[in-house]
Amino acid sequence: MIEKENSKWETATVGGGCFWCLEVVYQQQPGVKKVVSGYAGGHDPDPDYQSVCQGRTGHAEVIQITYDPELISYEDLLNLFWQAHDPTTLNRQGNDVGTQYRSILLYHDHAQRDAALKSRDMAQARFGGGIVTEIVPIQAFFPAEAYHRDYYLRNPSQPYCAFVIRPKLEKLGLKS
């Protein structure tokens, strides 16, 4: 996408299971400039994939989205968030189990907090009221190791990509 002059990019941070799954979903959205997989929501000041997976850091696998609010709104990003994962399962998405796979929205300002709370309340009806998604302020974001970035795009035939991510993309009507 060609960046418009004087464009004001904004940032959103979300987690809903494995960051590989969400990364490719958001990369396909018009108005999204960049998606970076990483870690947030925990206490460790220097997390890495191994320590996050072992549950020692308190961090969740998340993605940080840089987007143009003139082309896609934060509310649109939230609507996609509710569709792209199951926000009713505590610390789990499918076979991925652990606090690092929890459903979490990390807001960057009061407007995002208010929008996230409103969006969650609206999604409650669709999910029968059992949403367990955390909605918390972002304290820090730690980019994941380079081999996690663009994972699906670089490894579409890897078994996890083929059997977990591809069906998710098809369900959402996105390119697989």
Residues with a catalytic annotation lie at 18
* Helix, strand, coil % in the chain, rounded to nearest 5: 35, 25, 40
DSSP class per residue in 36-82: EEEEESSS-SS--HHHHHTT-S--EEEEEEEE-TTTS-HHHHHHHHH
Contacts of 82 (CB under 8 A, 6+ apart): 119, 123, 126, 127
